[in-house]
Amino acid sequence: MSPRRRLARFRIPLFSTSTLLLLLGLTLAIAGVAAAADDGFPTKIHKPGHCAMRGQDKKSFFGGQLPKPYNGVAETPNADVRKQLVDLCGAKWSKGPICCDAAQISNLATNLKRAEALIASCPACKVNFFNLFCSFTCSPDQSLFVNITETETSSKGVALVSEVDYFLSPTYGEGFYDSCKDLKFSATNGNVMELIGGGAKNWKDFLKFLGKKNPPFGSPFQINFPPKEKLSHHMKEMHDTPKNCNDSDVAYRCACIDCPAVCPILPNVDEVKVCKVGNLRCWSFAVIIAYSVGLMILGAYLSFNEYIKYRDQKRGNLRLLRDSDLEYSDDDDDEGVRTGGALVPEHQGKPYILDTYLDRIFYRIGGTSAKFPGTTIGLSVLIVGLLSLGWLNFSVETDPVRLWVSPTSDAAQEKQFFDENFGPFYRTQQAFLVNDTTNAGPSPVLSYDTLTWWFDVEQQIRRLKSLNYGVTLDDVCLNPTGDACVVQSVTAYFHGNTWELKHGTWKEQIRSCANQPGQCLPDFGQPIKKEMVFGGYEKTGDVADSAALITTWVLQNHAEGSAAVERSMDWERSLKNTLLAVKEEAEERGLRLSFSTEISLEEELNKSTNTDAKIVVISYIAMFFYASIALGSTTLALKNMLRQPTKTLVDSKFTLGVFGIIIVLMSVSASVGLFSAMGIKVTLIIAEVIPFLVLAVGVDNIFLIVHEFERIDGEHPDDDLEDQIGRAMGRMGPSILLSATCETVAFGLGACVSMPAVRNFAIYAAGAVFINAVLQVTMFVSVLVLNKKRMDANRIDCFPCLAAPRHDRSNGYPASASEDHEGGLVGHVRSDGHGHGSATEFDEVEEGLIQRFIRKNYAPALLAKNTKITVVAVFFGVFAAALALLPQVELGLDQRIAIPTGSYLINYFDDLYDYFAVGPPVYFVNKGFNVTERDNQQALCGRFSTCSPLSLSNIIEQERKRPEISYIAEPAASWIDDFMLWLNPSLDQCCRVKRSNSSELCGPYDSDFKCKVCFEDRDPGWNITLGGMPEGEEFMEYLKIWIDAPTGETCPLAGKAAYSSAIVPNYEDRTISASHFRSSHKPLTSQADFIAAYAAARRIAKEVSRTSRTEIFPYSKFYIFFDQYSSIAQLTAGLIISALVCIYIVTAVLLGSLQTGAVVTGTVAMIVVDIMGVMALWGVSLNAVSLVNLVICVGIGVEFCAHIARAFMFPAASVVARAKFRGNRGNDTRAWCALVNVFSGITVTKFIGVIVLAFTRSKIFEVYYFRIWLALVVVAATHALVFLPVALSYAGGEGWEVETDGGLASDLRYRRVGVLPPGAERYEYSDEESDDEGR
């Protein structure tokens, strides 16, 4: 359901057509005085003391009363008539002759009393209104400003007035209009001017509407208000002085809500002003300046260094020429020698104690898992199986409210309070009929043929029966009065009957109803504003040119899961099917129909989820398949696959890769089972994201374990398999621990977040990553051992029961395996087939294409001096650009993105924003406020002179006048004001109770003998100052009567229809437990508007709470979904910063270097910031979904960086020995070793999985998953493989003891660089070995 639907406006008082218009028209039908003038029409005599009309009569039996022409002298009335006139029109009529009789005054009183129900809250407007017609009817100088211009003859042959000119001074006309133009009618949240003046915008239109002949609902004769120029020399204008709404006399002064001139001035709101330098934000400008200054400093530093270097070199050359002494040569030249001794880390001989301890622990874990593979696998499966039993308690949370809002948050508790006290919000179904299918664009949709067709469509819907329960619209609709369902449509102007629509005048009828909705009341009695049923007419202002017709069906809502809700949903499904058929009919007519039912959004989201599930599964399968193939190709060369296909089947590791993927799935299953058993519900984000996350992390570790094992196997061919596994895990275990700990802590921090979707994701992700790491260092190691034994036994991969045939030289192939693997993709090991090893004597691990490229080309080029400077400048430039773009990241989640491409709801939401110019309702709710006390009444009311200037009603009224800040479009529907006005004894048809029982309301036909008017004889009496208003028990007694009083044409202020569900009285404690004051937002057309409107409502409620000294909170149906945005920016920053702090602590401790920890943490921070910059450029908003993805970015960023950082701090001896490139710093060497040692093929795995997501039909998946994850893979990979090694070479910490595995190959490599591993004897190698190393 769209939050923009205007629902709350339906609970309003109901007036019959005759009531609203007779109180206007019949007030003007003022009968004339019986004339004795012989010359009759027109008025001949215009002088003081003479009348123009007197007396009244009917033109026919069914006609209204019309005045009779009379140009005679005004007469003095008797005492009874005088009293009657003074009671009605005021003390100024207490003496002198008049031009009206008793019947006239009685008829005038009846009609003015009806008008008084609407205007009584503003004494100035009431006095001016009464004076206008009292003077017109009874003034002794009537002939001076009233001139009869047309008469007609009744059925009795009596002359009757049919048209007059009423000359009114502009001063009075304008003052009259000004005193009434801002008068509000709380029950409808609208202006009284819409009811008594047809929505007039100036005093001339106001008077024109009042005088328009419009029987039987308006004036029975025409009253013109001609300008002064048409005034004859014998006549003059009626020029009484009007009362101002801010009159100095408190008896006439109106309240703030009805008179802006008396309103207090609200303090200015501290708007968030955007600081700009030209077109750039100040923040962006500052970042650019900072980066530019940094570049300048770097350039100056480099230039200075070059100068120093040039100067020193020049001096050295001079010394050489002078002394011819080679010992003064500069060994630090950029073209220096091979690093030699510089390869030895600064901490040579000083191991890191923690790393040594972890090495031993993981050595034992690896050795034990290798020694007892079956037991390890069995225990792993058993434990995962036990944890997976929690799936029995598995449940998915799909309710958006419980997903995005914490149950302890203010928004959730406020929604619960509102639903419990005032009932759930209404269910709406809405349709747009639009004419925009031609190249001309939006065109008028209205035609007589289209209207009659749409009448038939709505009648069909009224008769529609649901499929399962057989209910109709009448059974499930909102019906506040019991008379008719609330259906807001153009057809409601005509009561749904086509015969009321005239073929020749239908446009005039529609224009009249749209401009004066009070004249075309629907069956449910609520005036329908034109904005509710017409759209796209703003250019011309003529509703006949509307490009869209809007129809809204409103259904009563009930408690979630109730049988009543099921019946409503059943009817909504039938309505959806019907409208889908109508949509095709509209297309045949060249029109377009868009619609939404209350259940539509949830159904379409489920469709999107089903579509997403297929794409996600395909993505995972692609990643699984590639990972399995890539893992098995580490020791396979293409030419050997062709030469020895059977041997290829043995060396393949596809089964090992599959088991690695199975372990990933096991960790996900165990995590889901564990936390499901704890009652933590799964969300769709968890189901779609966690497998990708764990796979991205898990496959990385699997590749590293396999790669390290192969290296150890090549260097220690004669060691036991358990010892080899132990050595491999001793080296890779701490690296896995580093990445897994950082990721678990980073995700675990999300468990502290109150937002359920983020919290649950963080808990499941942390659990899955941790379990996955445990299974990898235990179960996967056991599987790796079994796979190694299979290969040694020459058995076929995937079919271990089958042995592959062995090849010998008789077939032209080598008998040994020493030549089997030449130049695989990643690297391989030479083997002679002896034992289980795979290396002969001192031969070394062969390199694959990727490793050879990294060692010989990429790493040396990257770590060259000029390249490093360029890398730093470029990456910091990108980082600066991302920082500058951060303010451009928008907040929100457009509903149109959440639904699948091609959904019928997309057009509906587009039309909703384009054509529906009405904002969503907003309620200001107070609870536990004792309104029976006078001070508290004054803190809420707005229509009485003693109401607090900063009362709730007054503040909302003032906020309404600055909608660009407050987003409030209408005044508050104030029940306290309407209740107090209802008690006004002058409205003698409102509060009438039986004399025998004062708690029982009289009916409209009960006699005055049996009834009495409330407050009629009370002392002190009712007054505009609240001085005589009820308090305490008396207040509650009258409230009980009012809240059950039916609204009728005689009393529109009764409370049953408008406020019966707006107040929660507590009669036992004599207080009001809760009540609300309804207003409305202005039209909201973007996510930014919704967020700003929510923030503005919060601000207003806070201010009202402060001034009224009670708790006030705002509520609208959409608030619950936008509450997250009030703190999501701070939440995102806090969560990411906390994660970075934890990452720094963990990396600094496990790596033994504060500097390296800072470099890793800074790189991860750059990754996250750069991705947020991509979000700004790619239109990805910040919301709960993207927040989860940013948390993922932190975890994956750590995964990319952690292994390289550890390889930098603890370089492998065999890799150090191969370092041959020009450089002069130990950091350069160790950065080179980190690049060479860490296999980066897993980047391709992630990339393949992300690319598949590009084919999703779901816009939300394409925007919030594909875009962010693609950016993550690209940004994280480039930072880890390009920026991080360079940053480590500049700022990395001092490395620890170079690790040696004690093998002969390692010893040889150390000796070749002049360095002995600890405890090793010096060994001199031959030239042949040196040449081999050179290769």
Task: Spell out the alpha helix ranges (H) of 1004-1127.
Answer: 1032-1043, 1056-1059, 1087-1108, 1119-1122
pLDDT at position 459 over 50: yes
* Mean pLDDT of all residues in 506-512: 89
Structure confidence at residue 525 (pLDDT):
73
Structure confidence at residue 189 (pLDDT):
62
Task: Spell out the alpha helix ranges (H) of 589-683.
Answer: 600-632, 638-643, 645-651, 654-677
What's the half-sphere exposure (Cβ side, CA atoms, 13 Å) at 567? 18
- Give the C-alpha separation, 41 to 1249, whole Å: 94
H or E element in which residue 153 lies: strand 146-153
For CA atoms 995, 998, 1004, 1005, the dihedral sign is negative
The closest alpha carbon to 433, from 418, 420, 443, 424, belongs to 443
- pLDDT tens digit string along 1059-1087? 888 899 998 888 899 999 999 999 998 88
Instruction: Specify the DSSP class assigned to residue 680.
Output: P
pLDDT at position 1026 over 90: no
pLDDT at position 751 over 90: no
Are the beta carbons of 904 and 594 closer than 8 angstroms? yes
Q: b/e string for 1208-1233 if b means 16 or more Cβ within 10 A?
A: bbbbbbbbbbbbbbbbeebbbbbbbb
Task: Spell out the alpha helix ranges (H) of 1210-1266.
Answer: 1213-1216, 1226-1237, 1242-1253, 1259-1261
What's the half-sphere exposure (Cβ side, CA atoms, 13 Å) at 220? 24
Q: What angle do CA 360, 1201, 1143 make, to 5 degrees?
A: 75
- Within 10 angstroms of residue 759's Cβ, the number of other Cβ atoms is 17
First to last CA, the chain: 70
Are the beta carbons of 1110 and 1101 closer than 8 angstroms? no
Structure confidence at residue 1146 (pLDDT):
92
Model confidence at 1257, pLDDT cuts 50, 70, 90, reads: low
- Give the C-alpha separation, 41 to 37, whole Å: 9
Instruction: Specify the DSSP class assigned to residue 11.
Output: S
Model confidence at 1309, pLDDT cuts 50, 70, 90, reads: very low
pLDDT > 70: what percent of the chain? 82
Structure confidence at residue 850 (pLDDT):
67
Which residues, listed in sequence order, are joined to residue 555 by a DSSP beta bridge? 427, 477
Q: Cis link prior to 1285 (omega < 30° from 0)?
A: no
Phi first, then psi, for residue 564 (nearest 5°) are: -65, -40
The closest alpha carbon to 59, from 236, 192, 216, belongs to 216
β-pairing verdict for 795-796 and 799-803: antiparallel
Question: Taking all residues of the chain, what is their mean pLDDT, rounded to a whole number?
Answer: 80
β-pairing verdict for 146-153 and 159-166: antiparallel
Secondary structure (DSSP) of 84-128: HHHHHH-GGGSSS-BS--HHHHHHHHHHHHHHHHHHTT-HHHHHH
* Mean pLDDT of all residues in 1092-1104: 93
Sheet holding 1112-1115, edge to edge: 1063-1066, 1071-1080, 921-929, 1112-1115
Model confidence at 462, pLDDT cuts 50, 70, 90, reads: very high
Secondary structure (DSSP) of 684-724: HHHHHHHHHHHHHHHHHHHHHHHHHHHHHHHH-TTS-HHHH
Structure confidence at residue 111 (pLDDT):
79
**396: exposed, middle or buried (Cβ count in 10 Å: 0-12, 13-18, 19+):** exposed
- Give the C-alpha separation, 861 to 850, whole Å: 15
Are the beta carbons of 298 and 873 closer than 8 angstroms? yes
Secondary structure (DSSP) of 216-260: TTSBSSEEE---GGG--TT---B-PPPPPTT-SSTTTPPPGGG-G
- pLDDT tens digit string along 310-346? 777 777 777 766 665 444 444 444 443 344 444 444 4
- Give the C-alpha separation, 763 to 755, whole Å: 12
- Within 10 angstroms of residue 1093's Cβ, the number of other Cβ atoms is 26
pLDDT at position 134 over 70: yes
- Give the C-alpha separation, 12 to 199, whole Å: 19
Structure confidence at residue 216 (pLDDT):
55
pLDDT at position 132 over 90: yes
Are the beta carbons of 795 and 788 closer than 8 angstroms? no
Which of residues 73 and 640 earns the better pLDDT score? 73
Query: Between the CA of residue 949 and those of 255, 265, 941, 1158, what are the distances in Å?
Result: 9, 9, 10, 58
Give one word for 810, left, alpha or beta, with left for phi > 0 and alpha for psi -120 to 50. alpha
Instruction: Specify the DSSP class assigned to residue 355.
Output: H
Are the beta carbons of 968 and 1100 closer than 8 angstroms? yes
- Give the C-alpha separation, 881 to 678, whole Å: 44
Enter the tokens of residue 972: 């508050």
The closest alpha carbon to 1171, from 750, 894, 878, 893, belongs to 878
- pLDDT tens digit string along 1138-1150? 999 999 999 999 9
- Give the C-alpha separation, 489 to 494, whole Å: 10
Enter the tokens of residue 1304: 């002969």
pLDDT at position 145 over 60: yes
Model confidence at 863, pLDDT cuts 50, 70, 90, reads: confident
For CA atoms 848, 851, 855, 861, the dihedral sign is positive
Enter the tokens of residue 878: 């990108």
Q: Which residues, in sequence order, are CB contacts of 590 under 8 Å at separation 6+?
A: 435, 437, 438
pLDDT at position 708 over 50: yes
What's the half-sphere exposure (Cβ side, CA atoms, 13 Å) at 389? 6
Q: Which residues, in sequence order, are CB contacts of 997 under 8 Å at separation 6+?
A: none
- pLDDT tens digit string along 285-307? 888 888 888 888 888 877 887 77
What's the half-sphere exposure (Cβ side, CA atoms, 13 Å) at 1127? 14
Give one word for 968, left, alpha or beta, with left for phi > 0 and alpha for psi -120 to 50. beta
Model confidence at 369, pLDDT cuts 50, 70, 90, reads: very high
What's the half-sphere exposure (Cβ side, CA atoms, 13 Å) at 782? 19
Enter the tokens of residue 1075: 């009540």
Which of residues 406 and 927 earns the better pLDDT score? 927
For CA atoms 901, 905, 909, 911, the dihedral sign is positive
